[in-house]
Amino acid sequence: MRTALLTTIAVGALIAAGSALAQERKTIAVSIPAADHGWTAGVVYHAQKAAEEVKAAFPDIDVVVKTSPTAPAQVSAVEDLSAGGKLDALVILPHSSEELTTPVQAVKEDGVFVTVVDRGLTDPSIQDLYVAGDNIAVGQTTAEFLVDKLGGKGDVVVLRGIPTVIDDERIKGFEDGLKGSDIKILDIQYANWNRDDAFGLMQDYLAKYPKIDAVWANDDDMLLGVLEAIGQSSRKDIKYALGGNGMKEIIEKVMAGDAMTPIETPYPPSMIKTAIYMTAANLSGQVPIRGSVKLDAPLITKDNAAEYYFPDSPF
């Protein structure tokens, strides 16, 4: 698993350097959205774990984690974090690319190392390091599975998240994965990465379409709502209901060999850990790390699901 490999390498490097180097005290600020749904709850969990682990490896590096419920609140948080002038690095998962670009640029102009996670800024030149998952692969891997299992034909419905680049990429990947098959997308609507909204939309789909072979919710929070709606219906035609992101409840289904949800695709919130570790490596005097890191989104099956299972995580 690429995420695990990067994490192992980064932690090992930190521990080795931490035992050999005495560094002046430095500060990494981590600015992330508050835990308003499952995936962001996972981000908060892994960020806090990374802060503890970096502190243990490097007593002279402080990691300060701040969560924000909205984009304006995150703008204020970034301004507050940098106000003291003692910030050495910023790791940020922006609420909104547009609203956070200018505040982060101001931080960058003060000589701060900037790592951006998941949602890129509108000006990529601001970031020294970018860490994200492969959203196109999340959609494409799922679609290719359905093409194979449905024999290249059938009717599917799709639930989108919210209007973002992330969502657009997932949908593009899914549509690309269906090309060349006779699988038809009957309907595709937004459900806001929200379980309740997905439950209502799936009820509408069930009422509108008498035959549905498969459902793709491009996020696992929505998938839970989809599964609830299907469970409350008497429908027997739906062969597969699939999601994405690697929520532990869905991984448990895959591990158990669930017939309707036998696979998953990862978009791990633990990517925030990789970002923090790599940022700490830059501050520790090791070889500078710059550029972009894109994590793979391989198919998760019963055979490898245990590698992606984090039972203590909220996601």
Both 102 and 175 in one domain: the answer is no
Rounded distance between C-alpha atoms, residue 185 and residue 189, angstroms: 11
Specify the pairing of strand 113-117 against strand 89-92. parallel
Does 251 fall in a domain? yes
Residues 6+ apart with CB under 8 A from 259: none
How far, CA to CA in Å, does 186 sit from each of 67, 156, 179, 205, 206? 39, 6, 15, 9, 11
Find the CATH number of the domain harbouring 214: 3.40.50.2300
The per-residue DSSP string of 63-111 comes to EEEEEESSHHHHHHHHHHHHHTS---EEEE--S-HHHHHHHHHHHHHTT
Domain count, the chain: 2
- Asked if 179 and 276 sit in the same domain, the reply is no
Same domain, yes or no: 178 and 109: no
63/196 Cα distance (integer angstroms) = 35
187 and 205 co-located in one domain: yes
* Structural domain contains residue 93: yes
Q: Can you tell me which residue has the tokens 């609203």?
A: 99
> Are 178 and 147 in contact, with CB atoms under 8 Å apart?
yes
| Domain match, 6 and 130 both | yes
The verdict on residue 122 lying in a domain is yes
Same domain, 173 and 81: no
Examine the domain organization and report whether 143 and 127 are in the same domain. no
Q: What is the pLDDT of residue 287?
A: 67
Give the domain-ending residue among 205, 231, 255.
255
Q: In angstroms, rounded to a whole number, what is the distance separating the alpha carbons of residues 103 and 58?
A: 28
24 with 98, same domain: the answer is: yes
Residue 109 lies in a domain: yes
127 and 273 share a domain?
A: yes
Q: Is the dihedral of CA 260, 262, 265, 270 positive or negative?
A: positive
Are residues 230 and 243 part of one domain? yes
> Do the domain assignments include residue 119?
yes
Q: At what angle do helices 271-283 and 2-20 cross, to 10 degrees?
A: 30
Ordered alpha helix ranges (H), the chain = 2-20, 38-57, 71-83, 97-109, 135-149, 165-178, 195-208, 220-232, 248-255, 271-283
The pLDDT value given to residue 15: 47
**Residue 310 lies inside a defined structural domain of this protein:** no
pLDDT of residue 284: 84
Residue 7's pLDDT is 52
Q: 53 lies in a domain?
A: yes
- Alpha carbons 13 and 280: distance in angstroms, whole number: 10
Q: What is the pLDDT along the chain (315 residues), one digit of tens a residue?
A: 444 445 544 555 544 444 444 458 899 999 999 988 788 899 999 999 999 999 998 889 999 999 999 999 999 999 998 887 689 999 999 988 889 999 999 999 999 999 999 988 889 999 999 999 999 999 999 999 999 999 999 999 999 998 877 889 999 999 999 999 999 999 999 999 899 999 999 999 999 999 999 999 999 999 999 999 999 998 999 999 999 999 999 999 999 999 999 999 999 899 999 999 999 999 887 667 889 999 989 999 999 999 999 888 888
Same domain, 196 and 285: no
Handedness of CA 21, 25, 31, 32 (dihedral sign): positive
User: What is the structure's pLDDT at 164?
Assistant: 78
CA distance linking residue 267 with residue 244, whole number of Å = 7
- The answer to whether residues 20 and 128 belong to one domain is yes
Contact (Cβ atoms closer than 8 angstroms) between residue 254 and residue 301: yes
Residue 314, domain member (yes or no):
no
Contacting residues for 222 by C-beta, under 8 A, at least 6 apart: 159, 161, 191, 193, 194, 195, 197, 198, 243
Q: Scan for tokens 């969990």, then name that residue.
A: 45
Which range marks the domain in which residue 251 is found? 135-255
